[in-house]
Every structure is written in structure tokens, then in C-alpha cells.
A and B are shown apart, each in its own frame.
Chain A
Amino acid sequence: MSETKGFVFEEIKDYTGAKLGMWLFILSEILLFGGMFILYSAYRYKTPADFHHASKELDVILGTLNTIILLTSSLSVAACISAIQKGQRKLSMYLLMVTMALGLLFLVNKGFEWGTKIEHGIYPNSPALLVRTRGEILFFGLYYVMTGLHGLHVLVGVCVLFVMLIFIVKEKINRMHFTPLENSGLYWHLVDIIWIFLYPLFYLIT
């Protein structure tokens, strides 16, 4: 009879609990952006005409394109997780690279948008902005802060996904253990959801 030295157990996986931390973090992020959305809604309620006027200066086409880009990146990261669950390692690596590329493309578009605005002299506390009506100043202030913070989240997400890619290459994430990837996917979907709300509220004010 073999000697038991205490408990015998295999690798412990608490699949549900492993995602709990990320969900709690997601909730805090929703409240973070939610607070700014409340601020936005208050000022839009106060100065709707100014918001409408200022919103027309934003590039709707770029905004819509960015939305499609992020939605597609959400698709690719979700498919990436399915792929790794099915053991299709190469496919999951390609999909993850697609996600990162789309995220970077989003940031490039954002850069162009901000670049043209700044070229026209519109940036927080710029002289050209300060002569405008109060509502417009608020709109652009909110625009820069909210899309800026969101862009920062996208950048962080791309870095996190890159680390996940390394893990997949090194096979630290595999068919049996993929929760870091799933958590990174959850974060990325959150970033997408935030943009889903940012897009109509900034670009589509009629």
C-alpha cells in the first residue's frame, strides 16, 4: 500500500472564481466611466444646442469606423478563446494578433482625430476653444477626457493581450489553463462596451 502524505489532489482549478476578480474590476470601471457619463448628461441637458453644434465638428465616419474596428476586435478575441479551448493554438495566436492590430488601428484613428482637432487649435484650455460658448468648451473637455481615458484603456488592453500572446507561445496558456486569456478577453470586451456608449453620445448628436 502506498503511503499518503496528506491530501492527494490534482491541479486545483476554480474556473468560476478565477474570473470573479476581473468582473469586480469591470464593475469598478463601469462606475468610473459611468460617473463621467453622468457629467456628460448633466452638461448636455444644460446646453443641448452647444453640444449639437460642437458634435458636428467631429468626424462621424472615423467614429463609425472605430466602432466597427472595436466590434471586430471583440469578435476576434472571443474566437481566440474558443480556439484555445479547442486546442487550436496557432489559430488562437493569429486571432490574438488580429485583435491587437485592430486595437492599434483604433488608436491610430484616434490619433488622427485628435491631431486634426489640435491642428485647428481645439484642445483643453486652448485660446481658440476658450472664446467659444460654455457648452462647447464643456463638450470638447469631456470629449478629450473621456476618449482619452478610453484610449488609455485600449492601450493597456493591447499590452495585456501582447503578454497573453507570449504566454500562448510559451504554452503557459493552453487547452487546460486559459483563464488569464479569458480575463484579458473580458477586459477587452469592457473597453468595447464603453466605446459602444461613447460613440452615439459624442458623434451622433442630432
Chain B
Amino acid sequence: MKLPGHRPGLPGKVISLCIVPLDPAYKAGLPGHVPAKGVWMKTEEELHVTAYRTYIFVWVGLVILTGLTYTVAVGLQAEGWAVLIALVIAGTKSGLVLNYFMHLKSERLTIFRVIIPLVMAVLLVFILLTFSDLAFRGGVK
């Protein structure tokens, strides 16, 4: 007996589950010992298979950014700017890794896309608070 909404899993298609209340007409036709809560309905979501080419493009970008970090660090003399630029470039690189290699870009759920920036924001707050303390300390090391 086929359940409503039942589709056999196809290669490349991913199945996630939700539970829906039983249709009364369907419920009437079920044998008595089947629990009356609901039935598994399977919805299929498209699986994102990233192309090799995308990965290679991202890799090239990462290597270029690495070279850029190196050049800027060796070329630039100002300490403050160099740190900032290095961190911005490092942030861009990790953004690339996160979005393309770790598939955050193709992630539908908002929670995943929000969660990393949230943690980074927490770290930023920690760093800012630490520095706001350090900057106003006296001569104590």
C-alpha cells in the first residue's frame, strides 16, 4: 500500500521529512493498529552539487588573495594599516571558504547563514571590550 506523497528516493535527490495530519478519508482506510497521529510525507529538495569549476575558481581567488596579503605585508610600512588590510583579506578568504567550500551560499536555512556572522560578531565584541580596557590602563603591563 502506497502512502500519499510517497516517492521513491532518486539518486541525486535528497529527502527531508515533515509530518502532516492524516487525511480522514485515508485514515478511515487504514487497518486499526496503525497509529492515528500522522503520516510521513516526503518532500524532495534539490541537492546542490557544486561544479568542480566553481571550486577551482574559488581556489584561484584564494591563492591570489594569499599573494596579495604577502605583498601588502612586505611592501607596506605602516603597522596599523597592514594589520587592518591583512585582517580584511583574511576575512574575505574565509568568507570564500565558508560560502563556496562549506556550501553556506547554497544553504536555504537562515540559521546556518546567520550563525557564523553571529559568532564573528561575538568575537568582535570580546575584542572591542578587551581593547577598551587595555587602552585605558595605566602603566601596568
Does A8 lie at the interface of the complex (its beta carbon under 8 Å from any beta carbon of B)?
yes
Interface membership of B20, Cβ < 8 A:
no
Q: Is A153 an interface residue (CB 8 A)?
A: no
A78 partner residues in chain B, CB cutoff 8 A: 50, 55, 100-101
- Specify which of B17, B116, B134 is in contact with A42 (CB 8 Å cutoff): B134
Per the 8 Å Cβ criterion, residues 41-97 of A in contact with B are: 41-42, 45-46, 48, 52, 60, 64, 67-68, 71-72, 74-75, 77-79, 82, 85-87
B130 touches A86 (CB 8 A): no
Q: Complex Cα distance A9/B50, Å? A: 29
Which of B8, B77, B126 contacts A206 (CB under 8 A)? Answer: B77
Interface core residue of A7, A35, A78 (most chain B CB under 10 Å): A78
Chain B contact patch, size range: 35 or more
Q: Contact check: which of B59, B79, B102 meets A75 at CB < 8 Å?
A: B59
**Is the pair B82, A206 in contact by a Cβ cutoff of 8 Å?**
yes
By beta carbon, the residue of chain A nearest B118 is A27
Contacts of B42 in A (CB 8 A): 10
Bound CA span A15–B45, Å? 10
Nearest CB of B to A139, in Å: 14
Tell me the smallest distance from the CB of A183 to a CB of chain B, in Å. Answer: 11
**Chain A positions near chain B (C-beta within 8 angstroms):** 1-16, 19, 23, 27, 30-31, 34-35, 37-38, 41-42, 45-46, 48, 52, 60, 64, 67-68, 71-72, 74-75, 77-79, 82, 85-87, 134, 175-176, 185-186, 189, 192-193, 196-197, 199-201, 204-206
